[in-house]
Structure 1
Amino acid sequence: MGPWTHIDWRHVIGDVNFGFGAHSDFMGMRGRVHDMQIDWFQRTIGDGEALEPDTGQVLLFVMGTNQWREETEWPLSRAVDTDFHLRADGRLTAEPPPVAEQAEEFTYDPLDPVPTTGGALLMTDDFRPGPLDQAAVETREDVLVFTTEPLTQDTEVTGRVRAVLFAATDGPSTDWVARLCDVDENGVSRNVTDGIVRVRAAAPGEAAEHVVDLWSTSIVFRAGHRIRLQVTSSNFPRWDRNLNTGEPEDSATTARVARQQIFHDPDRPSRIILPVVPPA
Structure 2
Amino acid sequence: MAGLAAARELRREGHDVTVLEQSGDVGGQWLYNPRTDAADALGVAAPVKVHSSIYASLRLISPRQTTGFTDFPFCPKSGRDGRRFPGHREVHLYLKDFCHAFGLMEAVRLNTRVLRAAMTPARTWAVRSMDLGLGGCDGADGKGLDAYVDEVFDAVVVATGHYSQPRLPSIEGMETWRGRHMHSHSYRVPEPFRGEVVVVVGCGDSGRDIAMEIRGVAKEVYIVAGSMEAVTPGLSKVLAKYSANLHLRLEGTTTRSRSWTRAEWWPWTTTAWALCSSMCSRRP
Q: Taking CA–CA contacts closer than 8 Å with sequence separation of 6 or more, which of the two structures ends up with the larger relative contact order?
A: 1
Check whether TM > 0.5.
no
Higher strand share: 1
* Higher-Rg member (1/2): 2
Compute the TM-score of the two structures, normalised by the length of structure 1: 0.26
Higher helix share: 2
